[in-house]
A and B are shown apart, each in its own frame.
Chain A
Amino acid sequence: MWAELVQTPLFGIGLTLVVYLLAQTLYRRVNSVWANPVLVAIFAIILVLKGTGVEYRDYARGGDMILFLLGPSVVALALPLYQRREEIWKRKRLILIGIFAGSLASIISACGLAWILGGSREVILSLAPKSVTTPIAISIVDKIGGIAPLTAALVVLTGCLGAVCGPEFCRRIGVTSPVSMGLAIGTSAHGIGTARMLEVNRLAGAAAGLAIGLNGLMTTFLLPILMALFGF
Protein backbone atom coordinates (compact mmCIF):
# COMPACT_ATOMS: atom_id res chain seq x y z
CA MET A 1 0.00 0.00 0.00
CA TRP A 2 2.74 2.50 0.97
CA ALA A 3 4.71 1.87 -2.20
CA GLU A 4 1.64 2.79 -4.21
CA LEU A 5 0.75 5.85 -2.16
CA VAL A 6 4.28 7.22 -2.41
CA GLN A 7 3.92 7.26 -6.18
CA THR A 8 0.84 9.49 -6.14
CA PRO A 9 1.18 13.32 -6.12
CA LEU A 10 -0.49 13.22 -2.71
CA PHE A 11 2.81 12.14 -1.15
CA GLY A 12 4.98 14.97 -2.52
CA ILE A 13 2.35 17.66 -1.93
CA GLY A 14 1.46 16.37 1.54
CA LEU A 15 5.08 16.02 2.67
CA THR A 16 5.98 19.50 1.38
CA LEU A 17 3.00 21.22 3.03
CA VAL A 18 3.32 19.44 6.39
CA VAL A 19 7.09 20.03 6.62
CA TYR A 20 6.73 23.65 5.49
CA LEU A 21 4.06 24.37 8.12
CA LEU A 22 6.22 22.75 10.81
CA ALA A 23 9.22 24.78 9.60
CA GLN A 24 7.16 27.98 9.85
CA THR A 25 6.13 27.13 13.40
CA LEU A 26 9.76 26.47 14.28
CA TYR A 27 10.77 29.80 12.71
CA ARG A 28 8.26 31.68 14.91
CA ARG A 29 9.43 29.85 18.03
CA VAL A 30 13.22 30.16 17.72
CA ASN A 31 13.23 33.61 16.11
CA SER A 32 16.57 33.12 14.30
CA VAL A 33 17.26 33.93 10.62
CA TRP A 34 18.96 30.54 10.23
CA ALA A 35 15.64 28.83 10.92
CA ASN A 36 14.45 30.21 7.53
CA PRO A 37 11.43 28.02 6.67
CA VAL A 38 12.55 27.36 3.06
CA LEU A 39 16.01 26.23 4.14
CA VAL A 40 14.72 24.10 7.03
CA ALA A 41 11.95 22.55 4.90
CA ILE A 42 14.39 21.66 2.07
CA PHE A 43 16.82 19.95 4.46
CA ALA A 44 14.05 18.19 6.39
CA ILE A 45 12.45 16.81 3.21
CA ILE A 46 15.83 15.62 1.88
CA LEU A 47 16.44 13.85 5.22
CA VAL A 48 12.99 12.23 5.12
CA LEU A 49 13.53 11.03 1.53
CA LYS A 50 17.05 9.70 2.26
CA GLY A 51 15.85 8.12 5.51
CA THR A 52 12.89 6.34 3.97
CA GLY A 53 14.63 5.52 0.69
CA VAL A 54 11.93 7.21 -1.40
CA GLU A 55 13.24 8.21 -4.83
CA TYR A 56 13.41 11.88 -5.76
CA ARG A 57 11.30 11.28 -8.87
CA ASP A 58 8.47 9.89 -6.71
CA TYR A 59 8.59 12.99 -4.51
CA ALA A 60 8.68 15.19 -7.63
CA ARG A 61 5.27 13.91 -8.82
CA GLY A 62 3.70 16.09 -6.12
CA GLY A 63 6.61 18.50 -5.70
CA ASP A 64 6.42 19.59 -9.33
CA MET A 65 2.78 20.59 -8.87
CA ILE A 66 3.76 22.97 -6.08
CA LEU A 67 6.72 24.18 -8.14
CA PHE A 68 4.36 24.93 -11.03
CA LEU A 69 2.74 27.71 -8.95
CA LEU A 70 6.04 29.60 -9.12
CA GLY A 71 5.19 30.52 -12.74
CA PRO A 72 1.97 32.45 -12.06
CA SER A 73 3.62 33.88 -8.89
CA VAL A 74 6.30 35.54 -11.02
CA VAL A 75 3.52 36.95 -13.23
CA ALA A 76 1.79 38.16 -10.05
CA LEU A 77 4.88 40.26 -9.20
CA ALA A 78 3.38 42.75 -11.67
CA LEU A 79 0.92 43.69 -8.89
CA PRO A 80 3.40 45.24 -6.39
CA LEU A 81 5.24 46.81 -9.34
CA TYR A 82 2.00 48.37 -10.56
CA GLN A 83 1.01 49.56 -7.08
CA ARG A 84 4.43 51.17 -6.57
CA ARG A 85 4.98 52.27 -10.18
CA GLU A 86 5.44 55.96 -9.35
CA GLU A 87 8.10 55.37 -6.68
CA ILE A 88 9.86 52.92 -9.00
CA TRP A 89 9.73 55.17 -12.08
CA LYS A 90 11.17 58.13 -10.15
CA ARG A 91 14.21 55.99 -9.35
CA LYS A 92 14.67 54.37 -12.76
CA ARG A 93 18.26 55.59 -13.21
CA LEU A 94 19.59 54.26 -9.93
CA ILE A 95 17.65 51.03 -10.40
CA LEU A 96 19.25 50.37 -13.79
CA ILE A 97 22.76 51.35 -12.60
CA GLY A 98 22.46 49.32 -9.39
CA ILE A 99 21.27 46.15 -11.12
CA PHE A 100 23.82 46.48 -13.94
CA ALA A 101 26.69 46.81 -11.46
CA GLY A 102 25.38 43.88 -9.44
CA SER A 103 25.02 41.70 -12.50
CA LEU A 104 28.60 42.43 -13.55
CA ALA A 105 29.89 41.91 -9.99
CA SER A 106 28.06 38.59 -9.74
CA ILE A 107 29.62 37.06 -12.86
CA ILE A 108 33.13 38.36 -12.15
CA SER A 109 33.22 37.48 -8.44
CA ALA A 110 31.67 34.01 -8.77
CA CYS A 111 33.68 32.90 -11.81
CA GLY A 112 36.87 34.64 -10.64
CA LEU A 113 36.85 32.97 -7.22
CA ALA A 114 36.06 29.54 -8.65
CA TRP A 115 38.89 29.99 -11.19
CA ILE A 116 41.39 31.00 -8.49
CA LEU A 117 40.36 28.00 -6.36
CA GLY A 118 40.95 25.63 -9.26
CA GLY A 119 37.35 24.91 -10.23
CA SER A 120 36.81 23.03 -13.48
CA ARG A 121 35.62 24.90 -16.57
CA GLU A 122 32.15 23.34 -16.27
CA VAL A 123 31.79 24.42 -12.65
CA ILE A 124 33.02 27.96 -13.38
CA LEU A 125 30.51 28.33 -16.22
CA SER A 126 27.74 26.81 -14.09
CA LEU A 127 28.42 29.42 -11.39
CA ALA A 128 28.15 32.39 -13.78
CA PRO A 129 24.35 32.85 -13.62
CA LYS A 130 23.91 31.80 -9.97
CA SER A 131 22.15 35.07 -9.02
CA VAL A 132 19.69 34.78 -11.91
CA THR A 133 16.20 33.34 -11.48
CA THR A 134 16.07 29.57 -12.19
CA PRO A 135 14.36 29.52 -15.62
CA ILE A 136 16.67 32.22 -17.07
CA ALA A 137 19.76 30.71 -15.43
CA ILE A 138 19.05 27.32 -17.01
CA SER A 139 18.65 28.74 -20.50
CA ILE A 140 21.88 30.77 -20.10
CA VAL A 141 23.90 27.76 -18.92
CA ASP A 142 22.57 25.58 -21.74
CA LYS A 143 23.90 28.15 -24.19
CA ILE A 144 27.39 28.66 -22.65
CA GLY A 145 28.10 25.01 -21.83
CA GLY A 146 27.77 24.62 -18.06
CA ILE A 147 25.92 21.89 -16.14
CA ALA A 148 22.26 22.94 -15.91
CA PRO A 149 21.31 20.82 -12.84
CA LEU A 150 24.30 22.17 -10.90
CA THR A 151 23.27 25.72 -11.78
CA ALA A 152 19.72 25.00 -10.56
CA ALA A 153 21.17 23.84 -7.24
CA LEU A 154 23.48 26.86 -6.93
CA VAL A 155 20.64 29.25 -7.75
CA VAL A 156 18.57 27.83 -4.89
CA LEU A 157 21.54 27.90 -2.47
CA THR A 158 22.29 31.52 -3.41
CA GLY A 159 18.64 32.44 -2.97
CA CYS A 160 18.42 30.87 0.49
CA LEU A 161 21.65 32.53 1.60
CA GLY A 162 20.51 35.95 0.38
CA ALA A 163 17.06 35.54 1.95
CA VAL A 164 18.52 34.40 5.28
CA CYS A 165 21.42 36.84 5.67
CA GLY A 166 20.43 39.60 3.25
CA PRO A 167 18.29 41.97 5.34
CA GLU A 168 20.70 41.97 8.31
CA PHE A 169 23.77 42.27 6.04
CA CYS A 170 22.22 45.22 4.19
CA ARG A 171 21.44 47.04 7.44
CA ARG A 172 25.02 46.55 8.66
CA ILE A 173 26.55 48.08 5.51
CA GLY A 174 24.12 51.01 5.66
CA VAL A 175 21.71 49.90 2.93
CA THR A 176 18.46 50.80 4.65
CA SER A 177 16.06 52.35 2.11
CA PRO A 178 13.39 49.89 0.90
CA VAL A 179 14.26 50.36 -2.78
CA SER A 180 18.02 49.87 -2.30
CA MET A 181 17.60 46.86 -0.04
CA GLY A 182 15.05 45.35 -2.43
CA LEU A 183 17.39 45.87 -5.38
CA ALA A 184 20.37 44.42 -3.50
CA ILE A 185 18.55 41.28 -2.41
CA GLY A 186 16.55 40.85 -5.63
CA THR A 187 19.71 41.16 -7.78
CA SER A 188 21.65 38.76 -5.58
CA ALA A 189 19.01 36.29 -4.40
CA HIS A 190 16.35 36.49 -7.18
CA GLY A 191 12.92 34.97 -6.35
CA ILE A 192 13.70 33.52 -2.92
CA GLY A 193 15.13 36.87 -1.84
CA THR A 194 12.12 38.65 -3.35
CA ALA A 195 9.69 36.43 -1.44
CA ARG A 196 11.56 37.37 1.74
CA MET A 197 11.48 41.07 0.82
CA LEU A 198 7.71 40.94 0.28
CA GLU A 199 7.39 39.81 3.89
CA VAL A 200 9.48 42.77 5.07
CA ASN A 201 8.22 45.66 2.94
CA ARG A 202 5.96 46.04 -0.08
CA LEU A 203 8.12 48.59 -1.94
CA ALA A 204 11.26 46.53 -1.28
CA GLY A 205 9.43 43.52 -2.70
CA ALA A 206 8.45 45.46 -5.83
CA ALA A 207 12.05 46.60 -6.37
CA ALA A 208 13.32 43.06 -5.84
CA GLY A 209 10.78 41.68 -8.33
CA LEU A 210 11.99 44.17 -10.92
CA ALA A 211 15.60 43.16 -10.19
CA ILE A 212 14.79 39.49 -10.98
CA GLY A 213 13.78 40.34 -14.54
CA LEU A 214 16.41 42.99 -15.23
CA ASN A 215 19.31 41.03 -13.74
CA GLY A 216 18.29 38.02 -15.82
CA LEU A 217 18.25 40.15 -18.97
CA MET A 218 21.57 41.87 -18.25
CA THR A 219 23.36 38.63 -17.36
CA THR A 220 22.09 37.06 -20.58
CA PHE A 221 23.73 39.79 -22.62
CA LEU A 222 26.80 40.43 -20.44
CA LEU A 223 28.00 36.85 -20.11
CA PRO A 224 28.90 36.17 -23.77
CA ILE A 225 30.72 39.54 -23.93
CA LEU A 226 32.73 38.81 -20.77
CA MET A 227 33.58 35.30 -21.97
CA ALA A 228 34.94 36.70 -25.23
CA LEU A 229 36.83 39.41 -23.32
CA PHE A 230 38.57 36.95 -20.99
CA GLY A 231 39.03 34.42 -23.81
CA PHE A 232 37.16 31.77 -21.82
Chain B
Amino acid sequence: MVRGLTYLLLFQLCGEIISRSLDLPIPGNVMGMGLLLFGLIVGLVDVKWIEEAAELLLSNMTLFFVPAGVGVMVYSDLIVAEWLSITVATVVSTFVVMAVTGVLAQKLETNRDDDVG
Protein backbone atom coordinates (compact mmCIF):
# COMPACT_ATOMS: atom_id res chain seq x y z
CA MET B 1 0.00 0.00 0.00
CA VAL B 2 2.71 2.49 1.03
CA ARG B 3 4.76 1.43 -1.99
CA GLY B 4 1.81 1.96 -4.30
CA LEU B 5 1.04 5.42 -2.92
CA THR B 6 4.71 6.34 -3.21
CA TYR B 7 4.74 5.35 -6.89
CA LEU B 8 1.57 7.33 -7.60
CA LEU B 9 2.95 10.42 -5.87
CA LEU B 10 6.33 10.06 -7.62
CA PHE B 11 4.60 9.87 -11.02
CA GLN B 12 2.57 12.95 -10.10
CA LEU B 13 5.79 14.72 -9.10
CA CYS B 14 7.44 13.78 -12.42
CA GLY B 15 4.34 15.07 -14.20
CA GLU B 16 4.52 18.35 -12.25
CA ILE B 17 8.22 18.77 -13.07
CA ILE B 18 7.72 18.16 -16.81
CA SER B 19 4.57 20.28 -17.00
CA ARG B 20 6.16 23.22 -15.15
CA SER B 21 9.61 23.16 -16.70
CA LEU B 22 8.22 22.97 -20.26
CA ASP B 23 5.40 25.42 -19.36
CA LEU B 24 2.78 23.02 -20.78
CA PRO B 25 -0.95 23.71 -20.42
CA ILE B 26 -1.47 20.18 -19.01
CA PRO B 27 -1.46 19.94 -15.20
CA GLY B 28 1.01 17.64 -13.46
CA ASN B 29 -1.52 15.03 -12.34
CA VAL B 30 -2.87 14.46 -15.88
CA MET B 31 0.73 14.31 -17.14
CA GLY B 32 1.46 11.85 -14.32
CA MET B 33 -1.45 9.67 -15.49
CA GLY B 34 0.08 9.58 -18.99
CA LEU B 35 3.54 8.77 -17.63
CA LEU B 36 2.22 5.96 -15.42
CA LEU B 37 0.24 4.50 -18.33
CA PHE B 38 3.42 4.59 -20.43
CA GLY B 39 5.39 3.00 -17.57
CA LEU B 40 2.84 0.19 -17.28
CA ILE B 41 2.74 -0.47 -21.02
CA VAL B 42 6.53 -0.61 -21.52
CA GLY B 43 6.89 -2.76 -18.39
CA LEU B 44 8.81 -0.22 -16.31
CA VAL B 45 6.11 -0.48 -13.62
CA ASP B 46 4.52 -3.75 -12.54
CA VAL B 47 0.76 -3.36 -12.21
CA LYS B 48 0.92 -5.26 -8.88
CA TRP B 49 2.98 -2.44 -7.32
CA ILE B 50 0.26 0.18 -7.74
CA GLU B 51 -2.95 -1.87 -7.98
CA GLU B 52 -3.97 -1.83 -4.31
CA ALA B 53 -3.30 1.87 -3.72
CA ALA B 54 -4.87 2.88 -7.06
CA GLU B 55 -8.04 0.89 -6.36
CA LEU B 56 -8.34 2.45 -2.91
CA LEU B 57 -8.09 5.99 -4.33
CA LEU B 58 -10.36 5.31 -7.32
CA SER B 59 -13.11 3.72 -5.24
CA ASN B 60 -13.22 6.81 -3.00
CA MET B 61 -12.60 9.44 -5.67
CA THR B 62 -15.98 11.15 -5.25
CA LEU B 63 -15.12 12.00 -1.62
CA PHE B 64 -12.10 14.06 -2.72
CA PHE B 65 -14.31 16.45 -4.70
CA VAL B 66 -16.40 17.46 -1.69
CA PRO B 67 -13.97 20.11 -0.34
CA ALA B 68 -13.63 21.59 -3.86
CA GLY B 69 -17.40 21.97 -4.02
CA VAL B 70 -17.60 23.60 -0.60
CA GLY B 71 -15.28 26.28 -2.02
CA VAL B 72 -18.25 27.47 -4.09
CA MET B 73 -19.66 29.22 -0.99
CA VAL B 74 -16.93 31.86 -1.16
CA TYR B 75 -18.19 33.03 -4.57
CA SER B 76 -21.92 32.84 -3.93
CA ASP B 77 -22.36 36.65 -4.39
CA LEU B 78 -20.94 36.53 -7.90
CA ILE B 79 -23.14 33.58 -8.84
CA VAL B 80 -26.26 35.32 -7.46
CA ALA B 81 -25.51 38.51 -9.44
CA GLU B 82 -25.46 36.74 -12.84
CA TRP B 83 -27.40 33.64 -11.92
CA LEU B 84 -29.57 33.42 -15.05
CA SER B 85 -26.87 33.34 -17.72
CA ILE B 86 -24.64 31.19 -15.52
CA THR B 87 -27.32 28.60 -14.69
CA VAL B 88 -28.83 28.29 -18.16
CA ALA B 89 -25.44 28.14 -19.89
CA THR B 90 -24.04 25.59 -17.42
CA VAL B 91 -27.05 23.28 -17.35
CA VAL B 92 -27.89 23.32 -21.07
CA SER B 93 -24.27 23.04 -22.14
CA THR B 94 -23.66 20.05 -19.83
CA PHE B 95 -26.42 18.12 -21.59
CA VAL B 96 -25.41 19.36 -25.06
CA VAL B 97 -21.88 18.00 -24.58
CA MET B 98 -23.14 14.62 -23.34
CA ALA B 99 -25.52 14.37 -26.30
CA VAL B 100 -22.94 15.41 -28.93
CA THR B 101 -20.10 13.19 -27.69
CA GLY B 102 -22.35 10.27 -26.69
CA VAL B 103 -24.47 10.08 -29.84
CA LEU B 104 -21.48 10.58 -32.15
CA ALA B 105 -19.37 7.94 -30.36
CA GLN B 106 -22.27 5.49 -30.19
CA LYS B 107 -22.95 5.95 -33.93
CA LEU B 108 -19.29 5.45 -34.87
CA GLU B 109 -19.06 2.47 -32.54
CA THR B 110 -22.12 0.79 -34.08
CA ASN B 111 -20.77 1.37 -37.59
CA ARG B 112 -17.43 -0.08 -36.57
CA ASP B 113 -19.10 -3.18 -35.18
CA ASP B 114 -21.05 -3.49 -38.44
CA ASP B 115 -17.80 -3.27 -40.38
CA VAL B 116 -16.29 -6.03 -38.31
CA GLY B 117 -19.42 -7.96 -39.10
Contact = CB atoms under 8 A, between A and B. Distances in A.
Interface in A88-120: 91, 93-95, 97-99, 101-102, 105-106, 109-111, 113-114, 117-120
B114 interface: no
A203 interface: no
A175 B32 contact: no
Interface in B1-20: 5, 8-9, 11-12, 15
Given A72-B12, A127-B86, A216-B30, A67 B59 contact: no
Given A45-B66, A140-B25, A76 B8 contact: yes
Contact of B71 (A56, A69, A192): A56
Contact of B30 (A133, A153, A205): A133
B98 A185 contact: yes
Interface size class of A (residues with CB under 8 A): 35 or more
A60 to B, nearest CB: 7
Contacts of B91: 161
Nearest to A42: B69
B89 A110 contact: yes
Contacts of A133: 27, 30
Interface in A170-206: 170, 173-177, 179-181, 183-185, 187-189, 191-192, 194-196, 198, 205
B11 to A, nearest CB: 5
Given A82-B40, A157-B72, A106 B96 contact: yes
Contact of A150 (B73, B75, B97, B98): B75
Contacts of A76: 8, 33, 36, 50, 53-54, 57-58
Contacts of B61: 70, 73, 191, 194-195, 198
B69 A117 contact: no
Interface of chain A: mostly helix, strand, loop or mixed: helix
B93 A73 contact: no
B101 interface: yes
A150 B108 CA distance: 36
Contacts of B74: 56, 149
Nearest to B71: A152
Contacts of B57: 69, 72-73, 76
A38 B65 CA distance: 7
Interface string A138-155: 011001000101101110
A35 interface: no
A154 B70 CA distance: 12
Interface of A: 12, 16-17, 19-20, 37-39, 41-42, 45-46, 49-50, 56, 59-60, 63-64, 66-67, 69-83, 85, 91, 93-95, 97-99, 101-102, 105-106, 109-111, 113-114, 117-120, 123-124, 127, 130-131, 133-136, 139-140, 143, 147, 149-150, 152-154, 156-163, 165-166, 169-170, 173-177, 179-181, 183-185, 187-189, 191-192, 194-196, 198, 205, 209, 211-213, 216-217, 220
Top 5 closest A-B pairs, CB basis?
Answer: A184-B102, A63-B67, A102-B101, A119-B85, A175-B102
26 contacts: A72-B9, A78-B37, A81-B33, A91-B112, A93-B108, A94-B104, A110-B93, A111-B89, A114-B85, A118-B85, A130-B90, A131-B94, A135-B29, A149-B74, A152-B68, A152-B72, A153-B79, A156-B69, A158-B94, A161-B94, A166-B98, A175-B103, A180-B101, A184-B105, A191-B65, A196-B62
